Chains A and B, each alone.
Chain A
Amino acid sequence: MKPVAFEYHSPHSLDEALATLARVAPLEGRVIAGGQSLVPAMAFRLVRPGHLVDINGIAGLDHLRVEADELVIGACVRHAIFHRPVVAGVLGRALTDIAAHVAHYPIRMRGTFCGSLAQADPASEWCLLAMTLGARMIVRSVRGERSIPAHAFFQGVMSTDIQPDELLTEVRIPLPHAQARIGFDEFSRRRGDFALAMALVQFDLLDGRMKAVRVGVGAVEATARRIEAAEQTLEGGMPTMDRFQAAARAAAQAVDPSDQPQVPAVYRRELVESCVRRALERALSATLPKLP
């Protein structure tokens, strides 16, 4: 389980990195940041880059800040930074909740948030977050900069709109409103494993009613996505156990999981139902007493 040979590049500036990437892109060039998904794939020789462009040495790519109404996460920000809330309010807390499910502790020390998005594993928690909350991905190359909305960014299993010469420099996540609630739940066989299903929900609680509802489901189809049927079930309604259950059922029916001997589709739908309901309960439970 030794990787194939590659040439290694360690640029010190973003411009240098982009220039190098432009040059090696046609030669199976790849970016490496944390490498916690890339290197195992290389060990199995499933990924065989001719060149690796290491962006860890570039100053200023680990930026993490609030700009206007967005949380901006730079390319070299590690998962572990989210072990403690990085912004005030529900988003910071949600990121911390979610980070605890991202692989294991030592992996979170090295792996990056943006790397997860670029990898686009169907079971990635951060991909679900980006899709559900409507993040924008900023990619750059010597040809210029693009801002790609999440729904256009993720194109399939391990497939994104990033072109071979482009680098994902940052992700911008819209800050939720003050009245917002966010809840997350996932199910995996063991702690830290790839999830079999996960759900992220966000809604504004205005006058006891749910508005601007977002329900995202991941690890079930090729990419994470929002489930309109579930959102409609909740939109404008009061947060009750029955409504949550109805939304969870709607989500379970709306997804189209593959049917595998180990994980039959019927089971995957049951997991979706459980995850969506629990995510909704969690969104509410942080501030409200027990549901009617």
Chain B
Amino acid sequence: MDARSEASLIESNATVPKTAALRTEWIETAALALAERAARPPAAAVPDTVTPERIREETGTSDPVGRDPIGQSVTRLEDLPLVRGQARFAADLSFPRSLHMRIVRSSVPHGRIASIDASAALALRGVVAVWTHHDVADIPCIPLREGKSAELDPYLQPILADGIVRYVGDPVAAVFATDPYLAEDAAERVIVDIESLPVITEATAPLGEFLPGLPSEPTIVRKGYGDVDAAFAQADLVVELELAIGRHSGVPLETRGAIGRYDASRDVLELHGAAKVPHRNRDALARMLGRSPHSIQLFELHVGGGFGVRGEIYPEDVLVLLAAMRLERPVKWIEDRYESLLATNQSREQLHRVRAAVRADGWVLAMDDEFFHDQGAYVRTHGDRVVDMTAGILPGPYVLPNYRVAGHYRLTNKTPAATYRAPGRFESTFVRERLFDAIAERLGMDPIELRRRNLIQPQQMPFPRGIDTISDTIVFDSGDYPLLLDKTLDALHWEDLKESLRQRRATGETVGAGLAYFVEKSGLGPADGVRISVDFTGAVEVVTGGASVGQGFETVVAQICASTLGVDYRRVRVIHGQTNRIQYGIGAHAGRATVMTGSATHNAALKVRAKALEMAASLLGASADQLSVVDGQVVYASGDVAGAGRTVSLGDIASALAPTAPARGGREPGLSAEGWYETHSMTYPYGVHVAVVKVDRDTGAPRVERFFVGYDVGRAVNPMLVEGQIVGGVAQGLGGALLEEFSYDERGEPLAVTFADYLLPTLADVPAVEVMLTEDAPSPLNPLGIKGAGEAGINGVGAAIAAAIDDAIGQPGAVTRLPVSPARLKALLRRRAS
């Protein structure tokens, strides 16, 4: 190892926000907690329906040794620095001599830049540079993540606006100064003269030109199967709806941040504050900047929530890198909240015109949907993926023998849109489940009975959906949809619940319940690899190309590694988001982390285990099949009397496999291995959401009394974390269903640019969400049977809330758009009264 790479290692360690001391403390603290819990009664057998509460009750939260770590609700490896204030988020990282970047943004939604005068800004002492498009004209637009698209490429975003601004918030200039306060002072002094142009504010506006020569609709996503027209011709009933989902987004509590640093001594360009897809972004940035990927390193720090929006390449990421090179100083950019609500990807805004062909017995023959997706002012890294996923997953858990969809991808003069947790699913579940409620109403049939009649049956699994989405052919891998419905209704005592709501309505209360069924998707491929190594102390390091957005990635991967290898999960250190530690990585999105990285970890751990057993056999004079690994020690399998008590630790085995160790013999050095997992099919978990909502008739204010989630996760690695994902997802879903909306006025001015206008749910807005996890349909596609859980909580919230409100106010089909604000709800009540 030469001096340069040595230095690189030391530096990269500095970016991993954990120290050996911390680790020790953590283990001590955990050990203490463990001792306290040892006094608890022993665990009972795990029941079929694994609820996190049950598991916690039975095992204590931080269990120990001697039990398969998979399936245990152990406490998280991530937590200690976070509760001690020792984490390192992007804003917490400061390099000496840093410059601070401030973006000058367009204040008009569409216009031609007549002039930019930066002289007053540059006159301030401490202002180093002000850049406009002219200064960065050599840098291409931010590309689509996957390939090119002739239709979409002309709409990609330059890192600074090129003559035309297209939305309020569009980056026009970048100011670099020695202090963030000063940078903001200077940005105010950059005088931008913009001649306004006409705006498009609705995706449903008449087709026209978005920019000269460029239509406002670059593409239409079409999918389908069967003969829809024939189905409608023979239908007993046709039901049509127009449904709208409001514009909202992930809005993580940590705003975005990016720190660029160029190390000329090693010719390495570093981006700190990466997230989600560091490896993919490294490659894209390398192309944009004309560098080798080896000479760009991305470092994930702590991440204050991702939800799909953080970690895409935005103009600011490219600007800090470029500035770090050209201005020869580290450059730090921390987005403020006002900017964040203008500049970070928004999502969800769609209008659907959907119709169903139905037989009198409730069998739905066909669904036909045309929808308009509001993309905002540029195509960003996802291209038309949200439209594609909406179209692909819309049929959901129902057989629906004939299906046709056309998704119109439309540009408007608003903040660009992209993915937000459960992209295309929150939207499509709202549409499909509203449609099913409307069909039930028209047929006079119980909405649950209607669903039951149309659900895909377990014997039809694996079920080919007949369509593709995001390059995968959709084949539902496993599932017992009727069983989950039954279990959910049983858990809720559904008939009793309905009766009690009926009684409350009879006494004048405005209260009701609603249900939504959905199929999720997770484990998007195609391949992910990890490298596991054991050091001479027996500590295990798993280097992954995954990423953590706060979901407990380290703990889950450590549990899988610990289970397969036979160690305490607390001895496992999980590396993620560091592109200098591993060549490839898929990051954390699309419910991938546990399925893909988890399966790769399992495969790598199997290899390490085999290697350890083989070496141990030699050391102990045994044969490998007599041995097993328990809590970091290789021991004789139980029942082997001769070998009882003779052990060798993984640390000692690692020492014996050191390149210089004589015991190694001809073996490959190191107790380490690389493991890969490849798949070309996604896994499809599924769930049911049930909401109980009470409405204040005077004010129109809805209050969510109960929210229940039944979800089949295939296999829960850590039920407590799965539950956490689901409960948190529900809260976000309630935001999108009831509170959050990026509204714009008719001139394209954004109206929600502060946290007083963009309403995130508070504790008072979220009930204590109830979760029932089932493991009835493990995925046959991966060795552990795992399916994803990150998007289970948010998927059906809009649909269930809408149904519950309908039920409460006694107006089936009343809710046709989200979010259901009190003003809109009061309008529905008023309509009824008059």
Contact = CB atoms under 8 A, between A and B. Distances in A.
Interface of A: 1-2, 4-5, 44-45, 187, 189-194, 261-264, 266-267, 270-271, 273-274, 277-278
B826 A270 contact: yes
B742 to A, nearest CB: 12
B701 A190 contact: no
17 contacts: A1-B184, A2-B180, A5-B185, A45-B188, A187-B822, A190-B739, A190-B764, A190-B765, A191-B762, A191-B765, A262-B751, A262-B823, A263-B823, A264-B827, A270-B826, A271-B699, A278-B698
B739 A2 contact: no
- Please name the 10 residue pairs, one residue from A and one from B, whose CB atoms are nearest each other, closest first: A274-B698, A1-B336, A191-B764, A2-B181, A267-B823, A2-B184, A187-B699, A274-B699, A190-B762, A267-B826
Interface string B795-834: 0000000000000000000000000011100110010000
Nearest to B825: A267
B698 A193 contact: no
Contacts of B823: 262-264, 267
Given A267-B826, A270-B698, 19 more contacts: A1-B184, A1-B336, A1-B338, A2-B184, A189-B739, A189-B759, A189-B821, A190-B764, A191-B762, A192-B762, A261-B743, A262-B751, A264-B827, A267-B700, A267-B822, A270-B826, A270-B830, A274-B698, A277-B698
Nearest to B829: A270
B677 to A, nearest CB: 44
B756 interface: yes
Contacts of A264: 823, 827
Contacts of B751: 262
B466 to A, nearest CB: 42
Contacts of B184: 1-2, 45
Given A262-B751, A263-B823, A264-B823, A190 B759 contact: yes
B575 to A, nearest CB: 34
Interface string B741-761: 001010000010010100101
A52 to B, nearest CB: 16
B247 to A, nearest CB: 13
Residue picked from A192, A193, A271, most chain B C-beta under 10 Å: A271
A190 B751 CA distance: 18
B660 to A, nearest CB: 56
Interface in B150-194: 180-181, 184-185, 188
Contacts of A187: 699, 701, 822
Nearest to A44: B338
A262 B699 contact: no
Given A2-B180, A274-B698, A267 B185 contact: no
A217 to B, nearest CB: 15
A206 to B, nearest CB: 29
Contacts of A192: 762
Interface in B746-788: 751, 754, 756, 759, 761-762, 764-765
Contacts of B133: none
A271 B697 CA distance: 11
Contacts of A5: 181, 185
Contacts of A278: 698
Contacts of B336: 1
Contacts of A193: 756, 759
A13 B604 CA distance: 72
Given A187-B699, A264-B823, A1 B337 contact: yes
A4 B124 CA distance: 14
A266 B822 CA distance: 13
B146 to A, nearest CB: 35
A4 B182 CA distance: 9
A28 to B, nearest CB: 16
B764 A4 contact: no
Contacts of A274: 698-699
A263 B185 CA distance: 35
Chain A binding site: helix, strand, loop or mixed by DSSP?
loop
A189 B822 contact: yes
Nearest to B698: A274
Contacts of A191: 762, 764-765
A190 B760 CA distance: 9
B834 to A, nearest CB: 11
Contacts of B338: 1, 44
A64 to B, nearest CB: 29
Interface string B693-733: 00000111100000000000000000000000000000000
Contacts of A273: 698
B756 A194 contact: yes
Contacts of B700: 267, 270
Interface in B565-585: none
A190 B704 CA distance: 13
Residue picked from A44, A189, A261, A266, most chain B C-beta under 10 Å: A189
Contacts of B764: 190-191
Contacts of B699: 187, 270-271, 274
A274 B695 CA distance: 14
Contacts of B181: 2, 5
A58 to B, nearest CB: 28
Nearest to A267: B823
B743 to A, nearest CB: 7
A261 B185 contact: no
Contacts of A261: 743, 745
Nearest to B184: A2
A266 B756 CA distance: 23
Contacts of B180: 2
A273 B822 CA distance: 15
Interface string B678-702: 0000000000000000000011110
Residue picked from B180, B184, B698, B756, most chain A C-beta under 10 Å: B698
B345 to A, nearest CB: 20
Contacts of B698: 270, 273-274, 277-278
A5 B124 CA distance: 14
A39 to B, nearest CB: 14
A273 B745 CA distance: 28
Contacts of B754: 44
Contact of A267 (B337, B765, B827): B827
Interface in B621-657: none
A36 B749 CA distance: 27
Contacts of B826: 267, 270
Nearest to A4: B185
A273 B337 CA distance: 36
B189 to A, nearest CB: 11
B94 to A, nearest CB: 16
Residue picked from A1, A4, A263, A273, most chain B C-beta under 10 Å: A1
A270 B699 CA distance: 7
A138 to B, nearest CB: 31
A190 B764 CA distance: 8
Contacts of B827: 264, 267
B201 to A, nearest CB: 12
Nearest to A264: B823
A284 B762 CA distance: 31
A192 to B, nearest CB: 8
A252 to B, nearest CB: 11
A41 B790 CA distance: 37
A261 B185 CA distance: 34
A1 B255 CA distance: 12
A267 B701 CA distance: 12
Residue picked from B181, B188, B699, most chain A C-beta under 10 Å: B699
Contacts of A271: 699
Interface string B265-289: 0000000000000000000000000
Contacts of B761: 190
Residue picked from B188, B701, B754, B823, most chain A C-beta under 10 Å: B823
Nearest to B822: A189
Nearest to B336: A1
Contacts of A44: 338, 754
B43 to A, nearest CB: 40
